[in-house]
A and B are shown apart, each in its own frame.
Chain A
Amino acid sequence: MHGEGYGRAIMGDLIDASRLMGIEKIKLRAEDIGIYVWLKMGFLPTSEAWREMRREAFDFILLHRPLLEKDRDVTALLTQVMAGGPNMARVLNLIDTEVPSRKIPSRFTRKMMPFGKVFFLEAASPWNGVLDLRDAETVKAVESYRARE
């Protein structure tokens, strides 16, 4: 089913229907692959979920610090992650330094994958999330997703 635009269509319908009904927030439970995918759909963890995610991210950043330090100031990154709110999950996702996957088999060694995916697809716990339709910046970004070819 991947690549057939179902996700795009569902998100579009979800937003349109929510607006028609005057709904301001859409809540969900992100599990399995959705732990990564719902974030990319504009949802953010709740404050409570973020506290757990932030702790997991801190440990995961430290675990991969030697690799991450080749590309960036890890201390500055950790400072911002710990200081920030749930939308810092988007920054975690942006980290593209390749780190070894523990789940994807490779014949001779651990397969290297982008940090932003490995964290959400292997390390982060399921989270409760919200898409805030009053957040103009997020809605504009989701609209750009709907418009993708």
Chain B
Amino acid sequence: MNTLRSGQVRYPGNRWGAFADNPALDVGIAEEAWVALARSAWIESGGSEEKFNEAFPRYAELLAQPTTPL
């Protein structure tokens, strides 16, 4: 029996769901806050901010931009 509503898609055999159609789809914590959390994790584990910026240059640029208060 097909229980899917119109517009819903099932992807048997994988977990991708809506991400399959749009791999750039974002959920949860906003990107800037997420990058800040990841950088904190990196530094907490003994890594330097410089190395983080080298590993994730796009995100380093994001954090370097002026932000508006949450």
Mark A residues whose CB is within 8 Å of B.
2, 7, 32-33, 35-37, 39-42, 72-73, 76-77, 79-80, 83-85, 87-88, 90-91, 93-94, 96, 103-104, 113-114, 117, 121-122, 137-138, 140-145, 147-148
In this complex, the interface size class of chain B, counting residues with CB under 8 Å from chain A, is 35 or more
Q: A72-B55, A76-B55, A103-B16 are in contact. Are A41 and B29 (CB under 8 A)?
A: yes
CB-based contact A87/B14 at 8 Å: no
CB neighbours (8 Å) of A42 from chain B are 28-29
Mark contacts of B17-38 with chain A using CB atoms, 8 A cut-off: 1 yes-contact digit, 0 otherwise. Answer: 1111001100111101111111
- Contact residue among A37, A79, A96, A140 (Cβ-Cβ distance under 8 Å from B28): A37
Q: A103-B14, A140-B70, A147-B70 are in contact. Are A80 and B42 (CB under 8 A)?
A: yes
Q: A80-B46, A144-B30 are in contact. Are A72 and B15 (CB under 8 A)?
A: no
- Contact residue among A7, A35, A137 (Cβ-Cβ distance under 8 Å from B27): A7
CB-based contact B28/A84 at 8 Å: no
Given A83-B45, A103-B16; 16 other pairs, CB 8 A cutoff: A33-B15, A36-B15, A37-B28, A40-B27, A80-B45, A80-B46, A84-B44, A85-B45, A91-B41, A103-B14, A104-B14, A113-B23, A141-B36, A144-B30, A144-B33, A145-B28
CB neighbours (8 Å) of B34 from chain A are 40, 90, 93-94, 141
Which A residue's beta carbon lies closest to that of B8?
A1
CB-based contact A121/B40 at 8 Å: no
Quote the shortest CB–CB distance from B6 to chain A (angstroms). Answer: 12
Q: Would you list the 10 A-B pairs with minimal beta carbon distance, nearest first?
A: A40-B28, A84-B45, A87-B41, A103-B14, A141-B33, A90-B38, A144-B33, A72-B55, A80-B47, A145-B29
CB neighbours (8 Å) of B28 from chain A are 7, 37, 39-42, 145
Which A residue's beta carbon lies closest to that of B58?
A96
Tell me the complex Cα distance, A148–B30, Å. 7
